[in-house]
Amino acid sequence: MNSVPKKVLVVDDSAPELRLMKQFLEQGGYQAVGISDPTKIEETFEAEQPSVIMLDVVMPFGSGFQACRELKGQEAYGTIPVILVTPKTSPSDKYCGEQQGANGYVFKPFTPADLLRAVRIFA
């Protein structure tokens, strides 16, 4: 059995949210790498090789929906699971996320169990 913790890339422009998600994931046994700029996703992915990307939907540098669509449209990143983290809880928002290629959803406000449940499916 591999004892190296699975790595999760967390992308959120809010420093408190980013710290909280990283803390919850690390307490759950994952190695969490956090960035606040979605334009750095590909660069960070190449350097860190995470098993899963958790992506905030509402960010000033471009939406998580857009970032997810761009990742899923590239051969190099298309198979990496993307979990959207969002306050947008309507069925139409969830549908929009699925249309962009999202593999999962976590709604804000979230609990440690919410985050870990979503990550365990893919990591």
Model confidence pLDDT, tens digit, residues 54-112: 999 988 777 889 999 999 999 988 899 999 998 888 888 888 889 999 999 999 999 99
Own/partner pairs, 71-74, CB within 8 angstroms, 24+ separation: 71/41, 71/42, 71/101, 72/100, 72/101, 73/101
Please give the CATH topology (third level) of the domain spanning 7-122: Rossmann fold (3.40.50)
- Give how far the C-alpha of residue 84 lies from the chain's centroid of Cα atoms, to the nearest Å: 6
Q: Which residues contact 57 (CB under 8 A, 6 or more apart)?
A: 63, 64, 65, 84, 85, 86, 87, 88, 93, 97
Rg of the chain taking only CA atoms, in angstroms: 13
C-alpha dihedral (91, 111, 30, 12), degrees to nearest 10: 60
- Give how far the C-alpha of residue 34 lies from the chain's centroid of Cα atoms, to the nearest Å: 10
pTM of the model: 0.92
Q: What is the pLDDT confidence band of residue 4, given thresholds at 50, 70 and 90?
A: low
The confidence score (pLDDT) of residue 45 equals 94
How far, in Å, CA of 49 to CA of 40, rounded?
A: 13
The confidence score (pLDDT) of residue 2 equals 52
Domain chopping of the chain, boundaries: 7-122
